[in-house]
Amino acid sequence: MERLKSAVPVDLRRAVGEGTTRDLPSTTSLLLSFLDGLPLFHQVISELTDPELALCRKDKERAVELKGQGNACFSRREFEQALGFYSQALRHLPISSDGTDEILLATLYVNRASTMHKLGLLEECLRDCDRAISVSPNYAKAWYRRGMVNASLKNYSSSMHDLEVALSMEVTSSGKSNIEHELKLILLKHQNVNEVGRSSSDCNDAELPQTAEPCKVVLECVSTPNKGRGMTSPNDISPASLIHVEDPLAAIILKSRRDTHCHYCFNEAPADAVFCPLCTIPVYCSKKCQVQAVGGISWNQDTCLRSKSNGVDLGKLSLTSTRRKDPNSKQIAEHRHECGGAHWAAVLPADIVLAGRVMAQYIDRKMLTGKSSAISGPNLDLIHHYDIDSPTSKLESHIYAIVLLLCLQKYYSSDLSWEEETLSELVLLICQVKVNSIAIVRMKSMDEGQRLTENKGNSAAGDAVMCSVEQVRVAQAIYMSGSLFNHSCRPNVHTYFHSRTLFLRSTEYIESGSSIELSYGPQAGEMDLLARQQSLQENYKFSCRCSSCSELHLSDLVIDSFCCPQKTCLGAISELTYYRSKENCVHVSLKESDVCKLSLPHASEVDEDTEKVGKLLFRNDVDLKIDPGYCMSCRSQLDLASAIATSDRAASRINRFKELTVIDEVSEVPVTDALRSLEQIKKLRHPYSKALAQAEDMVAEAFAKIGDQEQARKHCEASIEILEKLYHPKHIAIAHELTKLVSIELSLGDMASSRATFLRAEEIFSLYYGPDVQRILPYVDALKRTVTGRFIRAP
């Protein structure tokens, strides 16, 4: 792309960069004729669409080599590594029309199944056995392995059936006697034990029924004074109400999650992941997700040609298309449009692929209606900021629009013709995607939370099972109605996802007619003003005008601040300049450049804390200026540079202490050192600052790990107290911290406190997730079972 961009002559680049929306028809057609005459451009398109040139093409030799490496690891009992090699072999193995590779495919499934059996991944093993049997029904080893794993799962009748089938197929006498021996053992077990009866299914929880909870809130899209359109409701909305549920128009996995998460439902991929039949990029958690993303595969014997190399000319494969289905069909088969063995989406940025997916759907639907007119852009009713985009970004959107259209044309071949405006519309679609796409996130329960879930709540007093969670971005998606909600750094609705479905829930009482706003990422209490503004500008191209960014709030004064050297003063010392102007506003700037302008609350509405932290700001002196390093309450001065350096060094020593506890290498020295570092941070950082909350939290986690639960409790409580100043008391960040405290109290055997703390956390979780807590945060449910004492410690 860089080479293409730099090949564009200066005058054309200028015309594109300086052009507005109205100039798009001329700038796109000028660029198209330039690129058409450029050999480099045709080379790029071939690389993106020709299966013979694609980097992601399947390769049987590579698959065989990987299988060999897997076998070598298996015989050395290096099962984790063997699993990785077998999965990679499956990823690279081409599919064939004449069945020549079926045995290789079935062998790979059985080898991976055997490895997973060794690793105790029984359900995964069973699913791979099913796959091997469906590929090659006469493969004795597949039946044998399924018989063995069914026995491990205590499905004795199924196990005996499978082993009997294996016995009937086995040709060697040693093999037969081995199976007979196993059959006898299983018969004995079957007579003594009640059957549990489980079955495998090649599906994932993306297919579980959606919540039965009705979504009764009426939403209206209205015009707002300074944020364009926005959402509101004609009715009052009570807290924890389900406001909106929506499936995406299109979605794409992030590059960083490509190998770890399913490319369709975006859940973490299991050990028995399946792959795209045509290219080596996508990973799916189940056959079901694979089919939804790729469409079914069938063979067109007339057009299927042998290629020069070992496989088949994948370009000639035909995919059973969802294309001729009902125009309202929800099935998108979005990867199908991009993959004929050359997965162009693997190379292009996420925004561009999303635009391509939206366009492909639009084309499909248009073709279904039978109209043979040329294709135009989908013309979505979404905002874009093309006119204020940078010249570089405009040029990129132009080039990508042309590349996209040619890639799509390759897929649709002769079925697709377009009008002159189509390219302009595609440029705007790319800009709409940039402004409106939403990040799909998952709550990842770290380390011990996972153990708690796996134990189904069997952890009990004595075990320090800490639940910490991290929000991870896994995908990017376009939700048509979801895109109409504006951002607030202090949102009144919470966004979460199940599979690829978006859920919005009110976290507070919302009066009829008030704005309903979610957070695009940055939140007050979590990030300072500057970071929030920068992030929104960078990612969404707007200066935030939400209430948190237009009024002075305590959390922004304290979040990154230092404390006043005067012991009795609660005043905050910041790195920013605060300048009070005539209109009762405070201008906040960093190194002379304005961050934002905040209106001051009326003196009668200022709470005690805010008043103490920034006393000077509430005096009536106009032209008051508080420079970096000066107390906002009494003007005492602090050597800011040295305070920052000392506090950062202390924080990294605490971090090191926490890391040492993970690898069990803690001696008396690091403990004392960590406590001394915490004292240093306390002396320098403001008592309500985020740095101090984080330090307390790290120390709490470290003490919990080394078994000093009294210390852990003290520091965890201190961290919660600060979070309550930074956020409002019912913020989800506090609920997560409370669950850590529950774990600590459980470890101390203080059941009464753990129950009370859990109730506080549960109240917040229900506000944010309603009845969905269980499926979004399974460890919270496990923790509940522990604190309510419904489960006792496993023997």
Ligand X SMILES: C[S@@+](CC[C@H](N)C(=O)[O-])C[C@H]1O[C@@H](n2cnc3c(N)ncnc32)[C@H](O)[C@@H]1O
DSSP assignment of 717-765: HHHHHHHHHHS-TT-HHHHHHHHHHHHHHHHTT-HHHHHHHHHHHHHHH
Smallest distance, Å, CB 521 to ligand X?
12
Among 12, 122, 416, 435, binds ligand X (CB under 6 A): 435
The pair of structure tokens assigned to 154 is 């205590």
Footprint on residues 751-790 left by ligand X (CB under 6 A)? none
Site for ligand X contains 545 (CB under 6 A): yes
> Helix (H, G, I), strand (E, B), or coil: what is residue 302?
coil
CA distance 467 to 185: 42
Site for ligand X contains 618 (CB under 6 A): no
Nearest residue by C-beta to ligand X? 228
Site for ligand X contains 544 (CB under 6 A): yes
* Cβ proximity to ligand X, 596 vs 767, nearer residue: 596
Among 436, 459, 523, 739, binds ligand X (CB under 6 A): 436
Sheet holding 469-478, edge to edge: 250-253, 469-478, 438-445
- Among the listed ranges 93-101, 445-453, 534-542, 714-722, the one in contact with ligand X (CB under 6 A) is 534-542
What are the C-alpha distances in Å from 112 to residues 26, 38, 118, 556?
Answer: 56, 48, 10, 53
* Cβ proximity to ligand X, 480 vs 751, nearer residue: 480
Among 484, 595, 626, 654, binds ligand X (CB under 6 A): 484
Smallest distance, Å, CB 489 to ligand X?
8
Footprint on residues 180-219 left by ligand X (CB under 6 A)? none
Smallest distance, Å, CB 377 to ligand X?
18
The closest of 496, 478, 502, 504 to 249, measured between CA atoms, is 478
* Cβ proximity to ligand X, 368 vs 383, nearer residue: 383
Smallest distance, Å, CB 536 to ligand X?
7
- Among the listed ranges 57-65, 153-161, 538-546, 629-637, the one in contact with ligand X (CB under 6 A) is 538-546
Among 546, 569, 651, 764, binds ligand X (CB under 6 A): 546
- Among the listed ranges 407-415, 542-550, 574-582, 659-667, the one in contact with ligand X (CB under 6 A) is 542-550
- Among the listed ranges 172-180, 272-280, 478-486, 605-613, the one in contact with ligand X (CB under 6 A) is 478-486
* Cβ proximity to ligand X, 345 vs 598, nearer residue: 598
CA distance 434 to 385: 9
- The answer to whether 155 and 195 have CB atoms below 8 angstroms apart is yes
Site for ligand X contains 529 (CB under 6 A): no
CA distance 145 to 169: 13
* Cβ proximity to ligand X, 290 vs 483, nearer residue: 483
- Among the listed ranges 97-105, 296-304, 473-481, 486-494, the one in contact with ligand X (CB under 6 A) is 486-494
The closest of 253, 278, 230 to 56, measured between CA atoms, is 278
Q: DSSP alpha helices (H): ranges in 279-334? A: 287-294
CA distance 115 to 433: 43
Site for ligand X contains 480 (CB under 6 A): no
Among 487, 715, 736, 784, binds ligand X (CB under 6 A): 487
Residue 690 CA neighbour count, 13 Å, CB half: 15
Q: DSSP alpha helices (H): ranges in 220-333? A: 287-294
Smallest distance, Å, CB 509 to ligand X?
21
What are the C-alpha distances in Å from 25 to residues 5, 393, 408, 464, 768?
Answer: 19, 17, 20, 64, 46
Smallest distance, Å, CB 587 to ligand X?
18
Smallest distance, Å, CB 229 to ligand X?
3
* Cβ proximity to ligand X, 304 vs 435, nearer residue: 435
Among 41, 275, 386, 542, binds ligand X (CB under 6 A): 542
Site for ligand X contains 540 (CB under 6 A): yes
Site for ligand X contains 431 (CB under 6 A): no
CA distance 113 to 126: 7
CA distance 427 to 411: 20
Footprint on residues 379-398 left by ligand X (CB under 6 A)? 383
Footprint on residues 293-332 left by ligand X (CB under 6 A)? none
Site for ligand X contains 486 (CB under 6 A): yes
The closest of 574, 579, 569 to 615, measured between CA atoms, is 569
- The answer to whether 754 and 482 have CB atoms below 8 angstroms apart is no
* Cβ proximity to ligand X, 436 vs 647, nearer residue: 436
Among 200, 424, 476, 483, binds ligand X (CB under 6 A): 483
* Cβ proximity to ligand X, 254 vs 480, nearer residue: 480
Smallest distance, Å, CB 475 to ligand X?
17
- The answer to whether 33 and 12 have CB atoms below 8 angstroms apart is no
What are the C-alpha distances in Å from 521 to residues 424, 472, 629, 761, 763?
Answer: 30, 12, 29, 22, 23
* Cβ proximity to ligand X, 155 vs 515, nearer residue: 515
* Cβ proximity to ligand X, 86 vs 503, nearer residue: 503
Residue 51 CA neighbour count, 13 Å, CB half: 22
What are the C-alpha distances in Å from 420 to residues 407, 417, 725?
Answer: 17, 10, 57
* Cβ proximity to ligand X, 476 vs 488, nearer residue: 488
According to DSSP, the residues that pair with 475 across neighbouring strands are 253, 440
> Helix (H, G, I), strand (E, B), or coil: what is residue 364?
helix
CA distance 589 to 433: 31
Please give the size of the binding site for ligand X, defined by CB under 6 A. Answer: 18
Task: Give the β-pairing of 593-599 and 585-590.
Answer: antiparallel
The closest of 244, 261, 240, 242 to 252, measured between CA atoms, is 261
CA distance 516 to 794: 47
Among 154, 161, 229, 444, binds ligand X (CB under 6 A): 229
Q: What Rg do the C-alpha atoms of the chain give, in angstroms?
A: 30
Among 94, 147, 230, 341, binds ligand X (CB under 6 A): 230
The pair of structure tokens assigned to 244 is 């909106």
Among 62, 154, 190, 227, binds ligand X (CB under 6 A): 227
Site for ligand X contains 432 (CB under 6 A): no
Smallest distance, Å, CB 380 to ligand X?
10
Smallest distance, Å, CB 552 to ligand X?
17
Smallest distance, Å, CB 532 to ligand X?
10
* Cβ proximity to ligand X, 277 vs 521, nearer residue: 521
* Cβ proximity to ligand X, 520 vs 688, nearer residue: 520
- The answer to whether 647 and 681 have CB atoms below 8 angstroms apart is yes
Smallest distance, Å, CB 73 to ligand X?
48
* Cβ proximity to ligand X, 477 vs 734, nearer residue: 477
DSSP assignment of 40-105: HHHHHHHHHH-TTT-TT---HHHHHHHHHHHHHHHHTT-HHHHHHHHHHHHHHPPP-SSSTTHHHH
Task: Give the β-pairing of 624-626 and 593-599.
Answer: unpaired
Site for ligand X contains 285 (CB under 6 A): no
* Cβ proximity to ligand X, 299 vs 540, nearer residue: 540
* Cβ proximity to ligand X, 488 vs 680, nearer residue: 488
Site for ligand X contains 478 (CB under 6 A): no
Footprint on residues 597-616 left by ligand X (CB under 6 A)? none
* Cβ proximity to ligand X, 385 vs 456, nearer residue: 385
Smallest distance, Å, CB 541 to ligand X?
6
Contacts of residue 191, defined as CB under 8 A and 6 or more positions apart, other chains included, come to none
- Among the listed ranges 387-395, 535-543, 582-590, 734-742, the one in contact with ligand X (CB under 6 A) is 535-543
According to DSSP, the residues that pair with 593 across neighbouring strands are 590
For ligand X, the binding residues (CB under 6 A) are 227-230, 383, 435-436, 483-484, 486-488, 540-542, 544-546
